[in-house]
Structure 1
Amino acid sequence: MIDIIVINEVELNPPGNDNYLSIKEWIELYNPNLNSIDIGGWTLETTHGKTVTVTIPYGTTIGAYS
């Protein structure tokens, strides 16, 4: 069986200032599997406008059914 992670919700560009200290963009990931999944080292990238890449810190896991 292949483990999957679901991108459950996304807030791409909420109203307001794009100042680094006030960025309110986020994603919610969901793990529908029976076991925890290690997502450390995964990257997220936006290519709309300014390209921004974020790396999820190593050791980050998503618990089963969370």
Structure 2
Amino acid sequence: MIENRIKILRAVQDWTQADLAELLGVSRQAIISIEKYKYTPSLELAFKIAKVFNVSINEVFTLKEDDKS
């Protein structure tokens, strides 16, 4: 699973989901889905998200390993 820090980064910038969606040229529903892990953004959109927050892609997205015991 790919986890993200979008909600946290938005809060730091004091941006709403609608604000971020407008900056990225996507719908607010897309941002909601990404934040709730219902949708994994394309690589292109992931890079755009990182760029709009002025951080590396690794600061936005991390790969959570499955715990297999």
**TM-score of the aligned structures, taking structure 2 as reference length:** 0.23
Structure having the larger proportion of residues in helix: 2
Structure ranking higher in strand proportion: 1
Q: TM-score, normalised by structure 1?
A: 0.24
Larger Rg: 1 or 2? 1
Higher RCO (C-alpha under 8 Å, 6+ residues apart): 2
